[in-house]
Amino acid sequence: MAILVIAEHAKGKLAGSTLNTIAAAAKIGGDIHVLVAGHGIDTVANEAAHVAGVAKVLKLDDAGLAHLTAENLTPAVLAQAKTCSHVLAPATTFGKNLLPRVAALLDVQMVSEITGVVSADTFQRPIYAGNAIATVQSTDAIKVITVRSTGFDAVAATGGNAAVEAISASADNSLSSFVGQELTVSARPELTAAKVIVSGGRGMQSGDNFPMLEKLADLLGAGVGASRAAVDAGFVPNDYQVGQTGKIVAPQLYIAVGISGAIQHLAGMKDSKVIVAINKDEEAPIFSVADYGLVGDLFQLVPELTAEVAKLKG
Amino acid sequence: MKILVAIKRVIDANVKVRVKADGTGVETANVKMAMNPFCEIAVEEAVRLKEKGVATEIVVVSAGPTQTQETLRTALALGADRAIHVEEAAELEPLAIAKLLKAVVEREQPQVVLLGKQSVDADNNQTGQMLAGLLGWPQGTFLSKVGVNGGEVEVVREIDGGLETLKLKLPAVLTTDLRLNEPRFASLPNIMKAKQKPLAKLTVAELGVNVAPRVKTLKVEAPAGRKAGIKVGSVQELVDKLRNEAKVI
């Protein structure tokens, strides 16, 4: 039986998280079918067909699916899921919104945010803000799972040559309607996929000081993140938030500036390869997870660091 | 309009949990418990809707062991009108909770069910979506704004790239994000008054739901610890370490 992966896409492009989800599917083992649903999605479907390891792409193009609300996408996913052994989606706001609704209607207890595959029915997932790792075994006939991107290396976006099959399904638009979106525009890499992240906390004192971090980020080709304190104080928009309730990241290098390191923040970044903390409080909990700590005034140290990095990058 | 708010009792979010040595779970004996932070936000939103004259009655519900009643009393002290306790000592999975809530919804007939977007213990982020699916109702998840308008509710959702606004037909299931509101504290007089408010008890059997777990927890372990880092004395030293030791820039 096939593994169904629900593709996430936006602006005519396959989301990076879909590639990590396909990697998890490959670890489970079986034919991987990717469902691309939406409106005007030929490019995305073709992109999905070229992803390494994909056996088939199911293309569901319908004007009623222009906005992928859970209400109108669920019937289509249900129809496909019934013949599959596993249904996977990335643990992004898209996947988290959709999949539990699908699972309930399949009468299945879903498994959220897996970070490891032990076998076809046994998975690892973090609980208690990442302070414990549970190994869980699903006894349901169909396994419905969201995949934490940072737990799996993305599969290659090219090299595959899957067939694209057009399918149809009724989209029920009577329950909810789309009004609008307000997306944060940024030229920097997407946080969850960035190799380097520079993050600011309450210690930044004001949103006006964030350009200081942006300058450093641009030199490093980094994404800019924030703690909840910085978001709540209005320094930056909330989709910058790294933590248990924000984005989970695991870059090569995470630079935490003026962030104390609360449990909820650590939950979102402690799997980073190298962590640097810049904080004036040498007792701050962030230093307990930092590989390199620098104690001092960030307003002096960050510009110094930026200048040093600028020298390196020539 | 009647609002049903589902809440959960969890280990206090500020407690650093310890994994049990036998790998069966985390230590919950003698650990401070509290209302799940996202549930507090759900209660607060319901109370605000009542203060605006949108809601007429707030019923708060929780499934769990006897001590769950303390959490329900907290919600009553914050402004809920009455409480329903579904007593069950065993740990419940989101699907089971969603089915229990569906049975309560069928009895109570609320127009809105408010829940937190996730509990900070199991971190599932499933129950609200499952309940909406079982009821065939629309769902507004991860909300930072709720505006009830006649037979509709306009909601602003926090999504990965920013914000999204949807209109949902009532009745609907809504789940709260952290930025929806700032929960109030219960005053002492309100805590005293809450003791007099009605708290009904129901059992899983009365609601006719099979709550047998579907997912077995084989083991729970502490995450791999990070090796101790070092403090560097200067920016130059930091850059040197990042370049030549860690090789990340």
User: What mean pLDDT is predicted for residues A137-163?
Assistant: 97
User: What mean pLDDT is predicted for residues B29-38?
Assistant: 96
- The Cα B170–Cα B112 span in angstroms is 7
Would you tell me how many other CB atoms lie within 10 Å of the CB of residue A303? 14
Would you tell me how many other CB atoms lie within 10 Å of the CB of residue A154? 17
pLDDT value at position B87? Answer: 97
* Six token digits for residue A33: 């079918």
For A113, the closest chain B residue by CA position comes to B124
Residue A151 half-sphere exposure toward CB, CA atoms < 13 A: 23
* Six token digits for residue A137: 């075994």
pLDDT in tens, B174-232: 999 999 999 999 999 999 999 999 999 999 999 999 999 999 999 999 998 888 899 99
User: Given CB atoms, is B139 within the 8 Å cutoff of chain A?
Assistant: yes
Cβ atoms B19, B26 nearer than 8 A? yes
pLDDT value at position B225? Answer: 86
- Does residue B68 carry a pLDDT above 90? yes
- Does residue A278 carry a pLDDT above 90? yes
pLDDT value at position A313? Answer: 86
Compute φ and ψ for A108, nearest 5 degrees: -125, 140
Closest chain B C-alpha to A57 CA, distance in angstroms: 25
Distances (CA, A) of A166 to A7, A39, A245, B135: 15, 12, 36, 30
Q: Shortest CA distance to B5 belongs to which of B178, B132, B173?
A: B173
> What is the length of chain A?
314
Which of B129, B155, B158, B240 is best to mutate for the A interface (most A CBs within 10 A)? Answer: B129
pLDDT value at position A284? Answer: 97
Question: Which residue is it, tokens 């820039």?
Answer: B249
Q: At what angle do helices A93-105 and B94-108 cross, to 10 degrees?
A: 70
Max CA-CA distance within chain B? 68
| From B126, B162, B226, residue closest to A184, measured CB to CB | B162
ipTM: 0.96
Residue B69 half-sphere exposure toward CB, CA atoms < 13 A: 12
For A242, the closest chain B residue by CA position comes to B160
Confidence label for B40 from pLDDT (cuts 50, 70 and 90):
very high
- The Cα B218–Cα A134 span in angstroms is 7
| From A137, A231, A253, residue closest to B216, measured CB to CB | A137
- Does residue A172 carry a pLDDT above 90? no
